[in-house]
Homo-oligomer: A and B are copies of this chain.
């Protein structure tokens, strides 16, 4: 029997878990109806479709959601909590039509200097801190918009987002580099190029053109060019984030392939990092938030 429902609603994907009264997972579902494919009034029907097999036949169920469902263009916009603060602030109840649903969304985090925001990663951070209480270091969450987060004493102190994944996709598929970089992958080329990029002085726009010049002047296999583009972007990001990670433990949370690239870039910069599975930590964070905020707090 479903005690409550947890959900992670991102830009491209919705994941749902049904939790029993004892906290055990009694069912789950996924959908590709991410935020980017939905208008605000399409969220509730999309949720009901995806969660159909998990909803109780009678009565209402508590639903706790993290991620982009709380964005301005999501289901309903919820606030940001300003760092420094606990990773998870009180979830905000939103209005729904179906009488079976009592839906709350976890606020994102914001920072005033430098200006920054996150939605969803705060829940993975909370999950990580549940498993590693007292962690004092940096959490890096690689993705389309990679987050570098300084945490200590159970709180998020500061963070920085780099849109490296999005730059990679734009450059590899839509730029003058596209013919060079749209396919293949050469692991050795990544390691060679990232060891240079992490010592970069920040001439990204020029280094990118260097990839094009290499394609014209030398024979560069597409897989090598694609790996070099990734190495250039990740390496320069790692270099620019040195003030955050220098002399601190680094935990990587994310997709295994991307985690591996960031781990190798950090290694080239002289920093060891440990990898953790994002999927499990999201659910752990949602469960911790559900326990902490059993009652509405507003």
Contact = CB atoms under 8 A, between A and B. Distances in A.
Interface of A: 72, 80, 110-112, 114-117, 145, 160-164, 166-167, 170-171, 174-176, 200-206, 208-210, 212-214, 216-218, 233, 236-237, 239-241
B237 A206 contact: yes
A240 B210 CA distance: 14
A206 B80 contact: no
A203 B237 CA distance: 7
Contact of A116 (B114, B145, B205, B210): B210
Contacts of A160: 203, 206
Which of A171, A174, A206 has its CB near the most chain B CB atoms (within 10 A)?
A: A206
Contact of A117 (B171, B213, B233): B213
Contact of A233 (B171, B175, B205): B205
A209 B163 contact: yes
Contact of A204 (B80, B115, B212, B236): B236
24 contacts: A80-B217, A112-B217, A114-B213, A116-B209, A117-B212, A162-B205, A163-B205, A163-B206, A163-B209, A164-B205, A166-B176, A167-B205, A170-B171, A170-B175, A174-B174, A200-B202, A201-B202, A202-B202, A202-B203, A202-B236, A203-B237, A205-B240, A206-B240, A206-B241
A116 B201 contact: no
Given A163-B176, A170-B171, 12 more contacts: A72-B216, A80-B217, A114-B206, A114-B210, A114-B213, A117-B213, A160-B203, A167-B205, A170-B175, A202-B236, A205-B233, A205-B237
A213 B116 contact: yes
Contacts of A174: 170, 174
A121 B200 CA distance: 27
A273 B84 CA distance: 44
